[in-house]
Amino acid sequence: MPEFLLELFSEEIPARMQARGAEDLCRVVAGALAPVMDGAPRGFFGPRRIGLVATLRAEVTTAGKEERGPRVGAPEAALAGFLKKHGATREMLVERGGFLVLDKPGESVTARELAARALPGAIRGLAWPKSMRWGTSGFTWVRPLQRILCVLDGEVVPFALATPDDTVHGLASGGFTEGHRVMAPGAFAVASFAQYQATLRDRRVILDAAERARLIEDGLARLAAAEGVRIVPDRGLVEEVAGLVEWPVPLLGRIDDAFMDLPPELMRATMRVNQRYFTMVRADGTAAPVFGVVANIEAPDGGAAIVAGNERVLRARLSDARFFWDQDRRQKLDDFLPKLSSVVFHAKLGTQGQRVERLERLARFLAPHVGADPDLAARAAKLAKADLASGMVGEFPELQGIMGRYYALAGSEDARVAEAIGAHYRPLGPGDAVPTEPVAVAVALADKLDTLAGFFAVGEKPTGSGDPFALRRAALGVLRIVRENGLRLRLGDVFAEAFFGFPQAVGSSAAPEFGMAVAQEKLNAGWRAPAGSAHPPMVAAFAAGLVDFLAERLRVQLRAEGARHDLVAAAFGNGAEDDLLRLLARADALKALVEGEHGPNLLAAYKRAANILRIEEKKDGPHHGPVDPALLAAPEEVALAAALDAAEPEAAAALETEDYSRAMSALAALRAPLDAFFDRVTVNDPDAQLRRNRLRLLARLRAAMDAVADFSRIEG
């Protein structure tokens, strides 16, 4: 089958857009050429090009189709318009079902014809995160487009991007592309993908992005090993640099000794963010006085001038960093706090200064629950955001928290306070470690819980895929901190405490709408505050809504870990539980029961009982109330009642002591009497009293099992 090659050659495409651009190109071209496409196209991308290679069928015949026209007897104008649209005559129409119908035969179309017709629209419609215009054309693309290479079976597929309303941009397809801008300038002809890829390599362009990344990593690793150091792993930077160079040439530069006393995180941020340099460390993990840089050319002097130039640039960058470092350390962290009162956190949630007050209060509340000293937790929370007002974090926002830790140590703060300041944003992602020191745990939780409570209260919940304030990430952070540290927290109480930290919730500044949308949604769903709740009903409902959000994140997390989604949902039951560790223990015990010897039959009997009750309760329910022992006629229902008499208190006592395995074992003892009951007892007995009593017995069974878990959510 013919080979199809398409390349869009332009000025430099931003590295972060290249892979997605090639992916989108494959998608739109596969759609445009679907009738002749044989398998999925394979994309490629680089600094100045995106493209694809595919196999096409040379020619296909489309199926015939019926085009229904106007009704019989319709005005002549309608008929004339239909005939003109389809290029048909009156004699070609037939009457069918009261309409005039045109039977259009299938047509043969070649891959070349279809590509020439469909590709201009596909290319013009390719969407980029940011696009630009050039010249006077209305055509937009990520960067000025310079060439279109399009060949099928070695022959050019001719088309142009010009449209009737935009004739200025007359770029047309051809059979040429270009190699390296500096080392091999000029165009060359292309006949096949193999020749295209090989010639590009000869002209100092490596087409495969993965190969460019591998050359960067391997080259830098070799240079580092020769110096007795190693490169700091940074896959994101490797992939970015692979999108900046066509012919990667790794080089090693040196850092002046005068800068080696700067914090290593600061040096790395300066090198990575501003210059795309790679950091090196010694065998003991300390910063090495060398850095990696990747050139895009093979210089005649072996790269000496390139290295010298980059060393000069880095020297200037580190001098700037030194200035901020020295300036910030002239004052204590407390001195930065007044500036936070003029820094807006969110228009509806006040300033960073107000947020610091909330964090201080919430961290003090959390401290006893996580084993932390309340005074140290409050002190760390008070200083956690102070570095946002520093010159260094103003220049390098990614160093927030990190610089606060250094400034706290320089100001003789307790080491635990400094550690908490540096760790309170963590975990930043799935691969990031969670804080484990108790003071750090208290502040990290306070930061995330305050964020969740505040944004939910002002109606900024995540919707669909939109989460502009990273609330899902904050929730996952809370879950990981709680799980990995084995914390026992009543999250409903914690969220209520966070809620009362906002001035909109208390005093003269109280806003009646603050948090009430979340609370009302929970109440509308039938939620009721548990007996003895220490919080007003609306506040308890608001907190329960936030616990639901965390619980949903936990369900997602557990499913990703391989847990059965139905067992997770069943363990969560009616949503009244707000202790994550208890939920997890319940889910584990439920899994052991359901997958054990008695589980399948017990589950089947429960569902049978629930179905009977659902049907009968529609007739004359509900069938609650005590079971009358005098009406237990059959031995099997007597045995089931006796089994429930034993299982209910046993399960309740086990739940009280959080012995979920014991609670599940108590339920497992119901399996045999349940089987016998359904084998030999007719629930809907003609005797109304017997029927009602047996339905109450089943309702008691359902309630006893639902107290342990929501078995209705378990599949099977």
Q: What is the pLDDT of residue 164?
A: 61
Q: Which two tokens stand for residue 6?
A: 């398409």
Q: Which two tokens stand for residue 447?
A: 């930061």
Query: 390-447, pLDDT tens digit by residue?
Result: 999 999 999 999 999 999 999 999 999 999 999 999 999 888 999 999 999 999 999 9
Alpha helices in 374-437 (DSSP H): 374-383, 391-395, 402-410, 415-423
Shared domain for 33 and 142, answered yes or no, is yes
Cα–Cα distances in angstroms (integers) from residue 213 to residues 45, 207, 220, in the given order:
13, 11, 11
Q: What is the chain's Cα-based Rg?
A: 35
Q: Which two tokens stand for residue 243?
A: 């999108």
Is the CB of residue 657 less than 8 Å from the CB of residue 582? no
Angle, CA of 633, 636 and 637, to the nearest 5°: 55
Coil, helix or strand at residue 109 = strand
Shared domain for 656 and 510, answered yes or no, is no
Shared domain for 75 and 120, answered yes or no, is no
Nearest to residue 490, comparing CAs of 540, 440, 441? 540
pLDDT at 53 over 80: yes
Query: 127-163, pLDDT tens digit by residue?
Result: 999 999 887 777 889 999 999 999 999 999 999 987 6
Shared domain for 530 and 631, answered yes or no, is no
The amino acid at residue 597 is E
Choice between 571 and 254, residue whose per-residue pLDDT is larger: 254
pLDDT at 572 over 80: no
Q: Is residue 445 part of a domain?
A: yes
Choice between 714 and 345, residue whose per-residue pLDDT is larger: 345
Q: Which two tokens stand for residue 327?
A: 């300036």
Q: Is residue 440 part of a domain?
A: yes
Query: 198-216, pLDDT tens digit by residue?
Result: 999 999 999 999 999 999 9
* Domain end among 546, 562, 578: 562
Neighbours of 238 (CB within 10 A): 20
Q: Is residue 383 part of a domain?
A: no
Coil, helix or strand at residue 166 = strand
Say how far apart CA 713 and CA 530 lie, in whole Å: 23
pLDDT at 168 over 70: no
pLDDT at 576 over 70: no
Say how far apart CA 682 and CA 328 lie, in whole Å: 82
Shared domain for 125 and 235, answered yes or no, is no
Say how far apart CA 659 and CA 233 lie, in whole Å: 45
Domain, as residue range, for 477: 351-364+409-562
Q: Which two tokens stand for residue 286?
A: 């300390």
The chain-wide mean pLDDT, for the chain, equals 91
pLDDT at 303 over 90: yes
Q: Is residue 500 part of a domain?
A: yes
Rounded to an integer, the average pLDDT of 546-563 is: 86
Quick one: CA torsion of 457, 460, 461, 464, rounded to 10 degrees?
A: 170
* Sign of the dihedral defined by the CA atoms of residues 22, 27, 31, 34, in that order: positive
Shared domain for 449 and 436, answered yes or no, is yes
Task: Name the band, by pLDDT with cuts 50, 70 and 90, for residue 476.
Answer: very high
pLDDT at 715 over 90: no
* pTM value surpassing 0.85: no
pLDDT at 272 over 80: yes
Shared domain for 197 and 219, answered yes or no, is no
The amino acid at residue 143 is R
Do the strands 173-174 and 187-189 form a parallel or antiparallel pair, or are they unpaired?
A: unpaired
Task: Name the band, by pLDDT with cuts 50, 70 and 90, for residue 579.
Answer: confident
Shared domain for 439 and 501, answered yes or no, is yes
Residues in the chain: 716
pLDDT at 617 over 70: yes
Shared domain for 76 and 121, answered yes or no, is no
Q: Is residue 392 part of a domain?
A: no
Coil, helix or strand at residue 489 = coil
Say how far apart CA 527 and CA 520 lie, in whole Å: 10
By percentage, how much of the chain surpasses pLDDT 90?
A: 65
The amino acid at residue 466 is G
Look at the chain and report how many structural domains it folds into: 5
Is the CB of residue 359 less than 8 Å from the CB of residue 443? yes
Q: Is residue 172 part of a domain?
A: yes
**Long-range interactions of 642-650: CB distance < 8 A, separation 24+:** 642/673, 643/669, 643/670, 643/673, 643/674, 644/670, 644/697, 644/700, 644/701, 644/704, 647/704, 648/700, 648/704
Q: Which residues contact 410 (CB under 8 A, 6 or more apart)?
A: 329
Do the strands 99-104 and 93-96 form a parallel or antiparallel pair, or are they unpaired?
A: antiparallel
Shared domain for 499 and 644, answered yes or no, is no
Q: Which of 112-126, 266-280, 482-496, 559-573 has the lowest mean pLDDT?
A: 559-573
Exposed / middle / buried, residue 542 (Cβ in 10 Å: 0-12, 13-18, 19+): buried
Neighbours of 716 (CB within 10 A): 10
Nearest to residue 119, comparing CAs of 157, 81, 155? 157
Q: What is the pLDDT of residue 556?
A: 84
Neighbours of 184 (CB within 10 A): 17
Question: Residue 655 belongs to a domain with what CATH number?
Answer: 1.10.730.10
Task: For residue 187, give the H/E element and its range.
Answer: strand 187-189
pLDDT at 319 over 60: yes
Q: What is the pLDDT of residue 409?
A: 95
The amino acid at residue 150 is C
Nearest to residue 36, comparing CAs of 115, 107, 122? 115
Q: Position of tokens 């520093």?
A: 390
Shared domain for 550 and 447, answered yes or no, is yes
Shared domain for 78 and 45, answered yes or no, is no
